[in-house]
């Protein structure tokens, strides 16, 4: 993971220490930029550290996003190998088979579409299973489960560990971390010249805003209209009373993930409630009820954590990776939505190429 390129140690500030911001910082410092990362709450403190870490470029992706998502998937494999060589094996993604489950006729069409998309893409596969075949794989499935798909090709990582390791790798290459909230920017014409944190202003030649759903200040400082809204997702973490599933299980919007030392994580919800990131009893009740239908032992497990996080969503489901309108050196890296962990490295690569003046076509609009 050596530094490349001749950037004359151009000073770049990255605002935001989630997966997108940290991956962007690493991409830039690898190219020889002088990078400072500003994060108010700690690396991976929000959605990047509160998710199941699924790297799934096909299911749930708008068609226009799929090529970019597949490229990000490839970049994750590459970065995982680099991080492992540096001693960050916990940041690497691993293959995770998933069972997409059907309980009735309403599930037939969605599963048929998943089956079609996966089998049409190199490196992915899907096979239909009846109830008897499902029970041979997962005897603990509930009595309502009638059929399903066994899908392969996706990867899973620990989002919290990945984000932390990416930030640490960037620091080893010379990135500086500043803990605190960015409170203002200084400008000269159509250029941002610095970012204020506390009582200090850090000078820069470029600034990348990777702030997730917190865009109100960016809009005000730059006079732009970033169309990014927060969508809250909640997830439960349980210690099971019996065996954990050997596969990830999904029925509709409800999924069970076996993570870490046999824990079962149950997600996920979708709530449009502004910047309110507090977990709710309503979501907990709904998640447990749906999960129990597909894995009855959930009812006897012990919930030891309940997390909520805000995903940055765009209207078309596409990420934003490009120059802020009207500015020479202000860049936006945002809008990963529910696939933010996957897309983080793709967004980072796009921003890095733009700052190196490679000028690929930016993804999304700013």
Q: Where are the chain's structural domains?
A: 11-88+159-228+316-355, 97-154+229-313
CA angle 291, 295, 297 (to 5 degrees): 105
Half-sphere exposure of 84 (CA within 13 A, CB side): 11
Say yes or no to pLDDT of 361 above 80.
no
Please report which confidence band the pLDDT of residue 261 belongs to, taking 50, 70 and 90 as the band edges. confident
CA angle 42, 43, 45 (to 5 degrees): 70
What gap in Å lies between CA 133 and CA 218, rounded to an integer?
A: 52
Say yes or no to pLDDT of 4 above 70.
no
| pLDDT recorded at residue 2 | 43
Q: Could you give the angle at which helices 19-30 and 159-172 cross, rounded to 10 degrees?
A: 30
Q: Across all residues in the chain, what is the average pLDDT?
A: 94
What gap in Å lies between CA 110 and CA 127, rounded to an integer?
A: 14
Tens digits of per-residue pLDDT, 197-243?
Answer: 998 999 999 999 999 999 999 999 999 999 999 999 999 999 999 88
Tens digits of per-residue pLDDT, 109-154?
Answer: 999 999 999 999 999 999 999 999 999 999 999 999 999 999 999 9
Tens digits of per-residue pLDDT, 262-316?
Answer: 899 999 999 999 999 999 999 999 999 999 999 999 999 999 999 999 999 999 9
**CATH top class, domain 97-154+229-313:** alpha beta
Say yes or no to pLDDT of 90 above 70.
yes
Average pLDDT over residues 34-42: 96
For domain 11-88+159-228+316-355, is the CATH number 3.40.1640.10? no
Average pLDDT over residues 106-110: 97
Q: How far is CA 171 from the centre of its chain?
A: 21
| pLDDT recorded at residue 8 | 61
- Using an 8 Å Cβ cutoff, are 314 and 335 in contact? yes
pTM for the structure as a whole: 0.94
């Amino acid at each position: 993971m050596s530094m490349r390129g001749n950037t004359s140690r151009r000073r770049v500030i990255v605002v935001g220490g989630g997966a997108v911001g940290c991956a962007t910082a690493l991409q830039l410092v690898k190219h020889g930029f002088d990078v400072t990362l500003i994060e108010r709450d700690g690396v991976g403190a929000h959605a990047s550290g509160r998710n199941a870490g699924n790297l799934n470029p096909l299911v749930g992706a708008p068609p226009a996003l799929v090529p970019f998502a597949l490229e990000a998937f490839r970049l994750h494999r590459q970065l995982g190998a680099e991080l492992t060589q540096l001693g960050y094996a916990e940041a690497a993604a691993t293959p995770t088979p998933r069972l997409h489950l059907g309980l009735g006729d309403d599930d037939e069409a969605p599963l048929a579409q998943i089956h079609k998309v996966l089998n049409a893409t190199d490196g992915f596969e899907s096979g239909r299973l009846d109830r008897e075949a499902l029970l041979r794989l997962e005897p603990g499935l509930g009595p309502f489960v009638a059929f399903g798909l066994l899908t392969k090709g996706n990867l899973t990582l620990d989002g919290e560990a990945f984000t932390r390791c990416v930030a640490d790798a960037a620091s080893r290459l010379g990135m500086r971390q500043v803990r605190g909230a960015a409170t203002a920017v200084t400008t000269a014409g159509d250029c941002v010249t610095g970012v204020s944190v506390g009582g200090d202003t850090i000078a820069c030649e470029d600034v990348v805003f990777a702030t997730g759903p917190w865009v109100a200040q960016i809009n005000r400082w730059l006079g732009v209209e970033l169309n990014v809204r927060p969508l809250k997702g909640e997830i439960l973490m349980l210690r099971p009373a019996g065996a954990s599933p050997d596969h990830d299980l999904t029925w509709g919007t409800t999924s069970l993930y076996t993570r870490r030392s046999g824990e079962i994580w149950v997600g996920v919800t979708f709530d449009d409630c502004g910047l309110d990131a507090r977990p709710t009893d309503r979501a907990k009740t709904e998640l447990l009820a749906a999960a129990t239908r597909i894995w009855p032992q959930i009812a006897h497990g012990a919930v030891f954590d309940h997390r909520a996080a805000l995903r940055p969503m765009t209207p078309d489901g596409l990420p934003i990776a490009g120059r802020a309108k009207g500015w020479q050196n202000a860049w936006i890296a945002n809008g990963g939505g529910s696939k933010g962990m996957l897309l983080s490295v793709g967004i980072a690569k796009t921003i890095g190429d733009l700052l190196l003046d490679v000028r690929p076509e930016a993804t999304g609009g700013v």
